[in-house]
Amino acid sequence: MNKFGTTPILEARHVSMQFGKFKALSDVSTSFATGSLTAIIGPNGAGKSTFFNVLSGAFPPSEGQILFNGVDITHQKPYEFARIGISKSFQITNVFKQLSVHENVRVAAQMQVSRFNFLKDAHSLSDTIISADELLERVGLHHLRHKKSGDLAHGQQRALEIAMALACKPSLLLLDEPTAGMSPEETLVMMDLIRILATERTVILVEHKMKLIMGLCNRIIVLHHGEFLAEGSPDEIQNNAEVRRVYLGQG
Nearest approach in angstroms of CB 108 to other proteins is 5
* 126 is a site residue for other proteins (CB under 8 A): no
Residue from 12, 46, 101, 108 touching other proteins (CB under 8 A): that is 108
Name which of 103 and 207 has its Cβ closer to other proteins.
Answer: 103
Phi, psi of 204 (to 5 degrees): -125, 130
> What ranges in the chain are assigned the alpha helix state H?
48-55, 78-84, 101-110, 126-138, 154-166, 184-197, 210-214, 234-238, 241-249
Cα dihedral 230→33→4→210 (10° resolution): 30
Name which of 14 and 143 has its Cβ closer to other proteins.
Answer: 143
* 114 is a site residue for other proteins (CB under 8 A): yes
Q: Are 60 and 75 in contact (CB under 8 A)?
A: yes
Cα dihedral 19→20→21→23 (10° resolution): 10
Only segment of 21-29, 95-103, 136-144, 183-191 that touches other proteins (CB under 8 A): 95-103
Q: Is 173 helix (H, G, I), strand (E, B) or coil?
A: strand
Nearest approach in angstroms of CB 58 to other proteins is 8
d(CA 214, CA 238) in angstroms, rounded, equals 9
- What residues from 73 to 92 belong to the interface with other proteins (CB under 8 A)? 77-83, 87-88, 90
String of contacts with other proteins for each residue 132-171, x by CB under 8 A: --------------x--------------x--xx-xx---
String of contacts with other proteins for each residue 185-224, x by CB under 8 A: ----------------------------------------
* 116 is a site residue for other proteins (CB under 8 A): yes
* 180 is a site residue for other proteins (CB under 8 A): no
* 122 is a site residue for other proteins (CB under 8 A): yes
Cα angle 23, 69, 158; round to 5: 65
Phi, psi of 76 (to 5 degrees): -65, 150
Nearest to 231 by CA among 32, 34, 86: 32
Nearest approach in angstroms of CB 142 to other proteins is 18
> Which spans of this chain sit near other proteins (rule: CB under 8 A)?
56, 77-83, 87-88, 90, 94-100, 103, 106-108, 110-123, 125, 146, 161, 164-165, 167-168
